[in-house]
Amino acid sequence: MSLHNDAIKLPLSDADLQHLVEFSNMRALTSGAIVALTDSQDEVTYVPHTLFPSPVPRDLYQKAVYVQAGFNELMWKVTEDDEFLTSALKSTIEVDEFTGRMFKIYKQVMQEGCHKPVTLALLRSDYMLHFQPNKPAELRQVEINTMASSLAGMSVKTTQLHREVLQEHGIPNGSQQLPDNSCIDGLCKGFVKAWELYGQQNAAILFVVQDGEKNIFDNIYHVYKIKELNCAIKVIMRSMLYLGKNAQLTDDRKLIVDGMEVAIVYYRMGYVPSHFTSETEWKFKIMAEQSLAAVCPSISWHLAGTKKIQQELSRPGAVERYLKDPEMIANVRSTFAGQYSLDLTEEGDKTAAMGIANPQSYVMKPQREGGGNNIYGDDVRAKLEELAGQQERSGYILMERIMPTVVKNYELRRGLLVDMQDMVSELGIFGVLVCKEDQVAINKASDHLLRTKNIMKNEGGIGAGASAMDSPYLV
């Protein structure tokens, strides 16, 4: 099934294409829709982006926005349920060393009674539009990100870029089909509210970032917006290696970095094992959890974002355990793709048999973020056969493969020949949750991100080099 933006007649003539490509790339550069080319961050290029916004059914977009508050609440309740987290992850932590170490930290700070008064969660729930013959497209959740839910800054700039491209192409009213996008404003209001609830006017917000981060500008736009909302807030950026060597924890659990008390620790790294090059990074990870600072995500939120938890929440009665509104429960559940356990049990054996018999219908997922980790197609069969009878299989889940709707667009990426492509899109809805103890101060959706890729690419992600920034054109 294909979705079309009838206002834009494709393909473009060679002259129109050349003009719009030059206009779009130059406008991206001058508006700050950029990424670093080198680790030194002193050379930049335009962020990969589509030439035009891509069509998204209005009703599905509105549904994704509506259910985000439900997902925020659902994930919060999961993080508060030690019994559920422990039971759901018991097999995974035996075979996945990285998740297992995170779980040990979680248990350690639980036993030490390291309660955090303030909760800050910045989420992003990602969806694709699932197509089945003779049926309208449906919303299917790919995953929910509880850590480093990035690209809000780039998303806002892409929306503005596409408004200007439509105008340049002679479709001035087309921009009315692009939903407003102030996602970075919503996220940063979450930072400011959590900082206020922490209650120390001189405390800083700490961004934990990688040295040589090529997506540094997306981080910087968060800093600018926080300062715009409250110029008194200090925001600092440090690597986890630096923090492991230099951060301190006082007897009264204040986290101190370079002489400053820290109110919020915001991780933009730490979601894959390669981010931990030594015990020094792990030292800071534990220290941050032991502190009074609000950590985004805290260790329980990190664990709640694993694929295993997503699979366990798809079981009958799991969502109902945490949400009470029947309408919200029904809408949340309707976005779920099939999720299946690969534990070394009778249930897991049946799942493995399904994947081996029909590998094209499933995706095999480990407990990792950041793109480039999933297993597709015949590789699913090969991996499942390789892991037959081995405990390592418990580190994966099997997910029903979403069959996305196809759109026509042009991808603009440095060094890539520009040509019209068959592409598929992934819609992300940002969410913000801020609590003081058990009192909710903010629980809302915060607009959107759209990423689009060539239909032949399995993996997504801007950082992974597969997707391009996009904007939803509501149809």
Task: Delineate the domains of the chain, giving CATH numbers in brackets.
Answer: 14-338+410-474 (no CATH), 339-399 (3.30.1490.50)
As a whole-number percent, the residues of the chain with pLDDT over 70 amount to 97
**Looking at residue 103, what is its pLDDT?**
97
How many secondary structure helices (H) and strands (E) does the chain include? 15, 20
Reply yes or no on whether 124 is catalytic.
yes
pLDDT at 89 over 90: yes
The helix/strand/coil state of 269 is coil
Given the residues 72, 91, 149, 150, the one annotated as active site: 150
Reply yes or no on whether 150 is catalytic.
yes
Which of 40-54, 122-136, 356-370, 421-435 comes out lowest in average pLDDT?
A: 356-370
Given the residues 307, 383, 401, 453, the one annotated as active site: 307
Mean pLDDT of the chain: 93
Two tokens, residue 281: 């990074």
Contact between 451 and 154 under an 8 Å Cβ cutoff? The reply is no
- Classify each residue of 160-183 as buried b or exposed e, where b means 16 or more C-beta atoms within 10 Å of its C-beta: bbbbebbeebebeebbebbbebbb
**Looking at residue 416, what is its pLDDT?**
81
Two tokens, residue 319: 């969502």
Give Cβ neighbours of residue 342 (< 8 Å, ≥ 6 apart).
348, 351, 352, 364, 384, 393, 394, 396, 397, 398
pLDDT at 289 over 60: yes
Reply yes or no on whether 312 is catalytic.
no
Closest CA to 468 of 151, 219, 213: 151
Given the residues 163, 383, 451, 453, the one annotated as active site: 451
**Tell me: the pLDDT tens digits for 10-44?**
999 999 999 999 999 999 999 999 999 887 788 99
**Looking at residue 229, what is its pLDDT?**
98
pLDDT average, residue stretch 338-364: 90
Reply yes or no on whether 369 is catalytic.
yes
**Tell me: the pLDDT tens digits for 163-214?**
999 999 999 888 899 999 999 999 999 999 999 999 999 999 999 999 988 8
Reply yes or no on whether 307 is catalytic.
yes
**pTM for the complete prediction?**
0.93
Given the residues 100, 370, 377, 463, the one annotated as active site: 370
pLDDT at 369 over 70: no
pLDDT range class, residue 273, cuts 50, 70, 90? very high
Given the residues 145, 181, 298, 394, the one annotated as active site: 145
pLDDT at 392 over 80: yes
- Total residue count of the chain as it appears in this document: 475
The helix/strand/coil state of 26 is helix
Reply yes or no on whether 451 is catalytic.
yes
**Tell me: the pLDDT tens digits for 406-416?**
999 999 999 78
Given the residues 116, 124, 193, 401, the one annotated as active site: 124
CB 277: neighbour CB atoms within 10 A? 11
Give Cβ neighbours of residue 84 (< 8 Å, ≥ 6 apart).
78, 312, 321
Reply yes or no on whether 321 is catalytic.
no
**Tell me: the pLDDT tens digits for 228-251?**
999 999 999 999 999 999 999 999
Phi, psi of 221 (to 5 degrees): -65, -30
pLDDT average, residue stretch 425-447: 97
Largest CA distance in the chain: 68
Q: Interior CA angle at 303 toward 301 and 304, to 5°?
A: 60
**Tell me: the pLDDT tens digits for 114-163?**
999 999 999 999 999 998 888 888 999 999 999 988 999 999 999 999 99
- Classify each residue of 298-327 as buried b or exposed e, where b means 16 or more C-beta atoms within 10 Å of its C-beta: bbbbbbbbbbbbbbbbbeeebbeebbeeee
pLDDT at 294 over 90: yes
